[in-house]
Amino acid sequence: MGIAAARARYEEISDQTRRLSDFQVPDLERSRRFFELSSPGFRTRPFDVITCVVGLPLPGDLQRALVDKRNEVLGLIPAAARVYRVAPACLHWEAHIIKRPDEPDPSTPMEDLERAVRRAVGETPAFPIEFGGFFVSREGAVCFEGLGRWDLLRRRLGEQLACSSAYQLDTGHVSAARILDPIGPSVFSRLVALREASSSDRYGTLMVEEVKLVLERRWYMEDHTVACVARTQGTGD
């Protein structure tokens, strides 16, 4: 997916949201399934995922800019509505998914997965992803919009990791929060208006110089292990 196609995809997601007058419970249920809502403060649900990400953490300036904007967005939300905020140090960009929840474990040994990730990333030059603007999906996901030329990296990871999940992301967003309850038409209208007013925002650059192979045990990296770190072409081993 090129930069123009990514812009169009973000706009498509936002257009689905702006057609609503408020979040709808059937849509929000698709987000609520990620959480143990009965636990104090609610946690994300456990699972087993193997994924390739950039960040964990994001660069400090970019992380602070995204958290500041997220706070502005969520400052609109009534206190009675449940909201999950991704921990700042857990914000990341997902490059490639090897195993999703409920998919079988890959037959490839972990050592071979690590070697494959290193090969794919090591054959790819570093590149930037520029972040500006955000979208809120109809399921309540608050995400920051990234634009970059990530097709080569994702293609090389797919070629080297034939055992990967059939479903892959095609955008470059960073997920920052989940709104889990309706917020009322008036607040919803203000949320949509803030998204439109923020379209020219610029939050910073993520240089993709290394990719982490991560074993994730709870949504939004609440519990995870970094199995290996692979560096892009020209940035070392």
| pLDDT per position as a tens digit, 79-126 | 999 999 999 999 999 999 999 998 999 999 999 999 999 999 999 999
> What pLDDT, in 10s, does the model give residues 119-175?
999 999 999 999 999 999 999 999 999 999 999 999 999 999 999 999 998 899 999
Tell me which CATH homologous superfamily contains domain 3-231. Answer: Cyclic phosphodiesterase (3.90.1140.10)
Residue 129 bridge partners (DSSP): 148, 206
Q: What is the pLDDT of residues 213-229, one digit of tens each?
A: 999 999 999 999 999 99
Residue 109 and residue 116 in contact, taking contact as beta carbons nearer than 8 Å: no
Kindly provide the residue ranges of all beta strands, DSSP E only, lying in 34-186, ordered along the sequence: 35-36, 43-44, 46-55, 83-85, 92-99, 127-136, 141-148, 174-179
Task: Indicate if the pLDDT at residue 46 is higher than 70.
Answer: yes
Judged against a pLDDT cut of 70, whether residue 1 lies above it is answered with no
Q: Which two tokens stand for residue 173?
A: 């967003």
What is the rounded average pLDDT of the residues 204-212? 98
Q: Going by C-beta distance under 8 Å and a sequence separation of 6 or more, which residues neighbour residue 126? A: 207, 208, 209, 232, 233, 234, 235
Average pLDDT over residues 58-67: 98
Two tokens, residue 124? 């790819």
pLDDT of residue 2: 73
Position 137: which residue type? S
The percentage of the chain sitting over the pLDDT mark of 90, rounded to a whole number, equals: 92
